Amino acid sequence: MRYDKTLNRWSFSLGDYNANVTVPHTWNVDDEVMKHRGSATYETAVFIGSEFEGKKCFLQFNAVYHTAKIYMNDAFVGEHSRSGFTSFKVDIANAVKFGEENVIKVEVDNTHTDNMLPHGDDFDWADDGGIIRRVTLQIREPDGIEYAHITEQIDSIQNGFASGMLNIKTNTDKPCTVKLYDYSNGKLVFQSDSLNIPFENLKLWSCYSPNLYTVTLETDNDVYETRIGIRKFETKGEKVYLNGEEIYLKGCEWMPGSHPDFGMAEPLDHSIKCLKQLKTAGCVFTRFHWQQDSALFDWCDENGLLVQEEIPYWGYPKQATPLQLDIAKQQADEMMHFHFNHPSIVCWGVGNELGAETVPTIQYVKDMVQYFKTYDKRRLVNYVSNTLSRVENAEKDDAALYGDIAMWNDYLGLWEPSDDIINHMLRTCKKAEGMPLLVSEFGLCEPHFKGGDTERARILEGRLAMYKQIHNICGYMWFSLNDYRTHCGEEGADKLRRRVHGSTDLYGNEKPSYRLLCKLQKG
């Protein structure tokens, strides 16, 4: 028995302001309270039948930004802090009144704080407070299946098919029957009573053939379902390979939460519109500065878009303390727990622009690369640097070199002055010689830099021509798809405060540079 109910109707209160809202919700796009940074309260009621007594009862929050304290029938049942974009569950069984209406209250706070990641106000995106993603009441058998993490060990690849072993890790010790179905047609491929299953001739998942399989685990009283894709993503020397074939990671980054009507609570259909713009432009790879909803990764799984999902540790503190390392590990645990089976997620990211030539940052990156790989050996782990190209640091070590792919934000001639960009770039790439190097950002930010979309297009065309000349550049990330809402934006105010950095506007309307991106990447 499995019971799930989405809780989307809530009452909202912030001081004297009260409203009925639909969750996902953020108050920072509501005209009356959009300036507020601090606490607010959500409340709802749900009937839980007496037939569920003795079962496990949870609330799953797909994200609350950023601190949540949860009460059931006035009893405190749990809290989540130090992370505003990861999913979490709260056990409510001891506070439920079975056969009655149950009142749920969530106190939410989006005050900038040093005790989380992102740290303080050191981030370049919106700080929208609220229950920004779905909430689900989940009821399970006492010995029910709560998760299944599936690892594919590929021994051979031939003509788009793979053979090897599926290894399943789950929480139950009960005997399970495992069934694997072809997701495209629902046909049963095989079943087994083992959690370690040899397989032959399963279709590979790739950007161009995103083949998926549905896996069910069945016990005498429970059925759990998830999806997987069989793929192998790896580096060899200076190249990146997907299923044994070299892949050039041409891409673009999209900054979610930027539509002024929705903010970080934007509906799935608008998110899919933006993801489709990436695919239409010929992108095979994107990165997210902060963690996203599983529903987005479902779309990426189904449409073959490769993703790097990152811990939102950006800018400061430049020297990670034990606190930042501990928070990063908490977020890594939540990322891996909820997103483990998505084939589209091929890389984990551990941070961005943290003073990568310093010993503490290098050690932090080493620690986090090892931490991710201890639990997930199927994915690459990377750090994004803005110091790799600094002339004064030419002989210094850099944390980017301790990831699987050296990732470098290229703003030569813009944020980083340069009189000879191509030779400056060649010196930078030489530091990463022997490993793949990916340009993880390049683009034009207005109004800090002038020239508008015409200059943006010139940079796009010129840089792509340069990158193709350098042997160890394995791809690039145009930044960004869209103008984006950010609390530190140079243009606009309140919910319209933004950086004009995109090839589309806040609403997703396309500029000439977007059409050029489509032409260049498909040419």
pLDDT digits (tens, 9 = 90+) for 65-112: 999 999 999 999 999 999 999 999 999 999 999 999 999 999 999 999
Q: Is the pLDDT of residue 393 over 70?
A: no
As a whole-number percent, the residues of the chain with pLDDT over 70 amount to 99
**Dihedral angle computed from the Cα positions of residues 288, 293, 295 and 298, in that order, rounded to the nearest 10 degrees:** 40
Among 314, 313, 266, which residue's Cα sits nearest to residue 293? 266
pTM above 0.95, yes or no: yes
Over residues 399-415, the pLDDT tens digits come to 999 999 999 999 999 99
- Residue 270: how many CB atoms within 10 A of its CB? 16
Note the pLDDT tens digit of each residue in 480-509.
Answer: 999 999 999 999 999 999 999 999 999 999
Q: Which helix (H) or strand (E) segment is 59 a member of?
A: strand 56-61
Q: Select from 2.60.40.10, 3.20.20.70, 2.60.120.260, 2.60.40.1220 the CATH code of 2-140.
A: 2.60.120.260
CATH code reported for the domain at 148-234: 2.60.40.10
Q: What is the second-level CATH architecture of the domain 245-522?
A: Alpha-Beta Barrel (3.20)
pLDDT confidence band for 395 (50 / 70 / 90):
low
Residue 200, amino acid: E
Q: Which residue, among 55, 54, 51, 39, has the nearest Cα to 105 in the 3D structure?
A: 39
pLDDT mean across residues, the chain: 96
Show me where the domains of the chain are located.
2-140, 148-234, 245-522
Q: Which of 89, 97, 104, 191 lies closest to 140, judged by CA?
A: 89
Q: Where are the beta strands (DSSP E) in 300-434?
A: 306-310, 345-352, 380-385, 406-409
Annotate 189-248 with DSSP letters as a single string. EEEES-SEEEEEEEEBB-SS-B--EEEEEE-SS-EEEEEE-B--EEEETTEEEETTEE--
Model confidence pLDDT, tens digit, residues 170-179: 999 999 999 9
Q: For residues 232 and 273, give the distance between their C-alpha atoms in angstroms, rounded to a whole number.
A: 28
The sheet with strand 239-242 has its strands ordered as 233-236, 239-242, 245-246
In order of 162, 205, 300, 493, the CA distances from 158 in angstroms are 6, 13, 24, 55
What are 7-37's pLDDT values in tens digits?
A: 999 999 999 999 999 999 999 999 999 999 9
Query: Tell me: the pLDDT tens digits for 420-463?
Result: 999 999 999 999 999 999 999 999 999 899 999 999 999 999 99
